[in-house]
C-alpha cells in the first residue's frame, strides 16, 4: 500500500510502498477513502524533534477487525481519529475512536463533519452561551471554525462574529474572500486579526489560534465573558486582564472527552449528524488532494488559505 512519510524535521513529504498493517487487539483495519488534514498534524512535520506518523481523521470501509473489536465488521463504513499512520491507503483505527458513517453520507463529508464538528461543539459546550448571547469564533474559515460559526447560530446565539487572518482569496470556493465566506455561513459580521477594533464586546470567544492572538481575543470579551482556548498554538494571558473584567479562560481538549466520556462523545456525534440531515450544518471542503500532493495540502493550511476542510483522497 502507499502511505505518506517524512524523514527529518521540516523535511519533504514523500509516498512510500509498505505492507498493509494487521489490526491488533481492539483495532480496525480501514481502507481509507478520505483523510482530514489538520493544523496540529501539519505542525508536527516542522516542530517535532523526530519524525512521527502522520495521523488524524480518517473515513473509509472496515476491512478487518482485531481481537476484541466487536462493534464493527468488514464492510461497515466508519470515521475516527487515527493515532498512527493515517495518510495512507489503509490505516489502523482503534475501535473506541470509531463511529459509523450513516447512509446517505460519503467519506469526505464524514471527515469534514465529525471530528472538526465535535471540537466545535465541545468548545461551545465549554463556553456555555445562554440563548441570545454573542459568540466570536477565531480561525472562522478553518475546518473547525466554519462549523463553529454554523453551530453557534443553530444553538441560538444572538450574534455570531468571525475573525480571520486576512482576505484569503482563493478560487477553491467560488473566489470568495475569507470574510465573504464566513458571512455566507450565517455570521453577522467578520473582522480581521489586525483590525484596530473587533467590534462590540462579546460574551464568548472560541479561540483556535492561540499565541499572540490571545490578547486581542481576551480584549474582545465583555465583562464576565468566557474565552475557550482549544488551540495547539500556546500563548500567555496576563492575570490582570482577567481580573479587571471578571473574565474566564477555559481550556478544552477533545481527546479527554473521547477517552473519558465516550457516552457524551457519542451524543455530540449524533447531534452533528442530526443537524447535517436537517440542513442546519453544512461542512465545506476547500479541496481534495491525492496522497502524492500531501505537501500541497499542507501548504494550504500553513498559508491560511483554506476555506473549510482540506482533505486527502487515497
Is residue 175 included in any domain, yes or no? yes
User: Is there a domain that residue 120 lies in?
Assistant: yes
Q: For residue range 200-233, what is the model confidence (pLDDT) as tens digits?
A: 999 999 999 999 999 999 999 999 999 999 987 7
256-279 pLDDT, tens digit each: 888 788 889 899 999 999 999 999
Reply yes or no on whether the pLDDT at 249 is more than 60: yes
Chain segment 4-61, per-residue pLDDT in tens: 999 999 899 999 999 999 999 999 999 999 999 998 899 999 988 899 999 999 999 9
Same domain for 122 and 79: no
SS3 160: strand
Domain residues for 201? 116-254
- The answer to whether the CB of 123 falls within 8 A of the CB of 206 is yes
Considering the domain architecture, whether residues 92 and 123 belong to the same structural domain is answered as: no
133 with 180, same domain: the answer is yes
Within-domain flag for 240: yes
Is residue 211 domain-shared with residue 300, that is, in the same domain? no
Phi, then psi, of 272 in degrees rounded to 5: -60, -45
Answer whether 0.85 is exceeded by the pTM: yes
User: How sure is the predictor about 175, in pLDDT bands with cuts at 50, 70 and 90?
Assistant: low
How many domains does the structure of the chain reveal?
2
Residue 292: per-residue pLDDT: 97
Listed as own residue / partner, the contacts of 230-239 with beta carbons closer than 8 Å and 24 or more positions apart are 230/119, 230/122, 230/123, 230/126, 230/206, 230/254, 231/207, 232/39, 232/40, 232/43, 233/209, 234/210, 235/210, 235/211
Percent of the chain predicted with pLDDT > 90: 82
In a domain, 206, yes or no: yes
Q: Which has the minimum average pLDDT: 103-112, 133-142, 161-170?
A: 161-170
Tens of pLDDT, residue by residue over 62-109, are 999 999 999 999 999 999 999 999 999 999 999 988 999 999 899 999
- Identify the three-state secondary structure at position 46: helix
Q: Say if residue 158 is in the same domain as residue 194.
A: yes
- CA–CA separation, 259 vs 253, rounded Å? 11
Half-sphere exposure of 214 (CA within 13 A, CB side): 21
Amino acid at each position: 500500500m502507499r502511505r505518506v512519510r517524512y524523514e527529518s524535521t521540516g523535511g519533504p513529504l514523500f509516498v512510500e510502498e509498505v505492507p498493509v498493517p494487521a489490526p491488533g487487539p481492539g483495532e480496525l483495519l480501514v481502507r481509507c477513502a478520505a483523510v482530514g488534514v489538520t493544523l496540529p498534524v501539519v505542525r508536527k512535520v516542522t516542530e517535532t524533534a523526530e519524525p512521527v506518523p502522520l495521523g488524524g481523521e480518517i473515513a473509509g470501509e472496515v476491512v478487518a477487525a482485531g481481537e476484541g473489536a466487536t462493534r464493527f465488521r468488514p464492510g461497515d463504513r466508519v470515521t475516527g481519529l487515527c493515532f498512527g499512520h493515517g495518510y495512507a491507503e489503509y490505516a489502523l483505527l482503534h475501535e473506541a475512536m470509531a463511529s459509523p458513517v450513516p447512509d446517505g453520507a460519503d467519506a469526505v463529508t464524514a471527515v469534514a463533519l465529525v471530528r472538526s464538528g465535535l471540537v466545535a461543539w465541545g468548545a461551545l459546550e465549554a463556553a456555555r452561551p445562554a440563548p441570545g448571547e454573542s459568540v466570536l469564533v477565531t480561525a472562522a474559515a478553518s475546518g473547525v471554525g466554519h462549523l463553529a460559526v454554523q453551530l453557534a447560530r443553530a444553538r441560538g446565539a444572538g450574534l455570531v462574529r468571525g475573525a480571520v487572518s486576512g482576505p484569503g482569496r482563493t478560487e477553491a470556493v467560488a473566489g470568495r474572500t475569507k470574510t465573504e465566506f464566513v458571512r455566507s455561513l450565517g455570521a453577522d459580521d467578520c473582522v480581521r486579526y489586525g483590525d484596530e477594533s473587533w467590534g462590540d464586546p462579546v460574551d464568548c470567544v472560541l479561540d483556535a489560534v492561540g499565541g499572540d492572538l490571545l490578547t486581542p481575543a481576551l480584549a474582545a470579551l465583555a465583562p464576565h465573558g468566557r474565552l475557550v482556548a482549544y488551540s495547539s498554538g500556546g500563548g500567555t494571558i496576563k492575570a490582570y486582564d482577567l481580573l479587571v473584567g471578571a473574565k474566564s479562560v477555559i481550556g478544552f481538549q477533545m481527546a479527554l472527552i473521547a477517552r473519558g466520556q465516550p457516552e457524551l462523545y457519542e451524543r455530540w456525534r449524533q447531534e452533528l449528524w442530526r443537524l447535517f440531515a436537517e440542513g442546519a450544518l453544512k461542512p465545506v471542503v476547500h479541496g481534495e488532494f491525492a496522497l502524492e500532493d500531501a505537501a500541497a495540502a499542507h501548504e494550504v493550511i500553513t498559508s491560511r488559505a483554506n476555506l473549510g476542510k482540506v482533505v486527502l483522497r487515497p
